[in-house]
Amino acid sequence: MQQVKAVVAKAKGAPVELVTINVPDPGPGEAVVKIQACGVCHTDLHYREGGINDEFPFLLGHEAAGVVEAVGADVTSVAPGDFVILNWRAVCGQCRACKRGDLQYCFATHNATQKMTLEDGTELSPALGIGAFAEKTLVAAGQCTKVDPEARPAAVGLLGCGVMAGLGAAINTGGASRGKSVAVIGCGGVGVAAIAGAALAGSSPIIAVDIDAQKLEAARGMGATHTVDSSQLDPVEEIKRICAETYDGADGADIVVEAVGRPETWKQAFYARDLAGTVVLVGVPTPDMKVPDLPLIDVFGRGGALKSSWYGDCLPDRDFPMLVDLYRQGRLDLDAFVTEEIGIDDVEAAFEKMHHGGVLRSVVVL
């Protein structure tokens, strides 16, 4: 066991605290990772606000990169000294989803068996089974994906959650490819990652929609060919118009990614897609939200697919090393997602900045 500094949310709505925690030595199937960088994600804030569950105290942080310090006796997939990105989809290989080949839906993903605790022994709930606003954390070995050690931790750590969610929403869930148009509604960290994914896949046009001009500017930098300020213009009409300019007879986009998580923007996505197009919901709605007044005949009549995307339908061991290599080759600008590097005691300030825009990601660097 060792003691390290970590960011903990002790009670619903209360500011997070930097405290000392106990990290057990890794047992069978586990690894201790020395964290180098961890992005601040909306989900961390949701945990703090009690929006996920009531299992306080939470050890926050879950988009991280670091170096494996120690592994359990039986662990062979990673070794001390390996540079890894932490993931929250360590697939089991045994459940029904895994057995039928849908590994991205695995419903028995691995986390560490032992518990990290506060100094008084109170067990911590690590955010998404990770807990990486900490000098060191204990995870399942399968949560460690080995990648090119030359990569910048603050940039590639973001693949551990939000950036992967967006990239995967466009590529894995939406099936973005050459010859297809993509529109993305909501251009925060997740939305611009979807735009970057569409650009990587060779899609065109790539239409960015947001109500914030600053976000649209960032979207252009990530590969958007067109931008629509939906506080000024009807996004459905604009997406249809832009797609028809490129493809004769197009009546919307082939793939529309909703990266806000609201009924009205999902409805925009629904009507902005072409016949037989795909809608991908990657924004996370709250339980009270409903889609009102959607004629069932429109669902039937437009064909295609209405999908949701959890963690970008990623398989970490397949996707992280490839995306890090593309980053190292200059084909995927992960640095552009890092708005600021902050200290481990600045997480609360980073939560505050989320409400003001202008920040794609604040990244804690240790």
Does 159 participate in binding ligand APR (rule CB under 6 A)?
Answer: no
- Cβ proximity to ligand APR: between 205 and 312 the closer is 312
Burial category of 267 from C-beta neighbours within 10 Å (exposed 0-12, middle 13-18, buried 19 and up): middle
Return the residue of 59, 106, 257, 314 that touches Zn ion, per CB under 5 A: 106
Question: CA 151 to CA 44: how far, in whole Å?
Answer: 25
Given a contact cutoff of 8 angstroms between Cβ atoms, the answer to whether 220 and 241 are in contact is no
Residue 92 contact, options Zn ion, ligand APR, none, Cβ 5-8 Å cut-off depending on partner type: Zn ion
Q: And the tokens for 120?
A: 């008084």
Kindly determine how many residues on this chain lie close enough to bind Zn ion according to the rule CB under 5 A.
Answer: 8
- Cβ proximity to ligand APR: between 27 and 50 the closer is 50
Please report where in the chains the tokens 């807990």 appear, as a residue. 131
Does 162 participate in binding ligand APR (rule CB under 6 A)?
Answer: yes
Question: CA 55 to CA 58: how far, in whole Å?
Answer: 7
> Read out DSSP for 62-87?
-EEEEEEEEE-TT--S--TT-EEEE-
Return the residue of 33, 98, 138, 193 that touches Zn ion, per CB under 5 A: 98
Given a contact cutoff of 8 angstroms between Cβ atoms, the answer to whether 85 and 160 are in contact is yes
Pairing of strands 63-71, 17-23: unpaired
Applying the rule CB under 5 A, the residues between 22 and 81 that interact with Zn ion are: 41, 43
Return the residue of 95, 284, 294, 326 that touches ligand APR, per CB under 6 A: 284
Does 92 participate in binding Zn ion (rule CB under 5 A)?
Answer: yes
Beta bridge partners of residue 35, listed in sequence order: 66
- Cβ proximity to ligand APR: between 98 and 132 the closer is 132
Question: CA 161 to CA 363: how far, in whole Å?
Answer: 13
Stretch of residues binding ligand APR (CB under 6 A), selected from 14-22, 27-35, 87-95, 255-263 = 255-263
Q: Cβ–Cβ contacts within 10 Å for residue 56, how many?
A: 17
Does 211 participate in binding ligand APR (rule CB under 6 A)?
Answer: yes
Please report where in the chains the tokens 């909501």 appear, as a residue. 186
Question: CA 116 to CA 176: how far, in whole Å?
Answer: 41
Return the residue of 7, 155, 161, 218 that touches Zn ion, per CB under 5 A: 161
Question: CA 214 to CA 107: how far, in whole Å?
Answer: 38
- Closest CB 173 distance from Zn ion, rounded Å: 17
Return the residue of 165, 255, 256, 272 that touches ligand APR, per CB under 6 A: 165
Does 190 participate in binding ligand APR (rule CB under 6 A)?
Answer: yes
Does 145 participate in binding Zn ion (rule CB under 5 A)?
Answer: no
Does 259 participate in binding ligand APR (rule CB under 6 A)?
Answer: yes
- Cβ proximity to ligand APR: between 80 and 357 the closer is 357
**Calculated CA dihedral for residues 18, 22, 23, 28, nearest 10 degrees:** -150
Question: CA 295 to CA 285: how far, in whole Å?
Answer: 21
Does 309 participate in binding ligand APR (rule CB under 6 A)?
Answer: no
Return the residue of 111, 145, 181, 265 that touches ligand APR, per CB under 6 A: 265
Interacting residues with Zn ion (CB under 5 A): 41, 43, 92, 95, 98, 106, 108, 161
Interacting residues with ligand APR (CB under 6 A): 42, 162, 165, 185-191, 209-212, 215, 230, 259-261, 265, 282-284
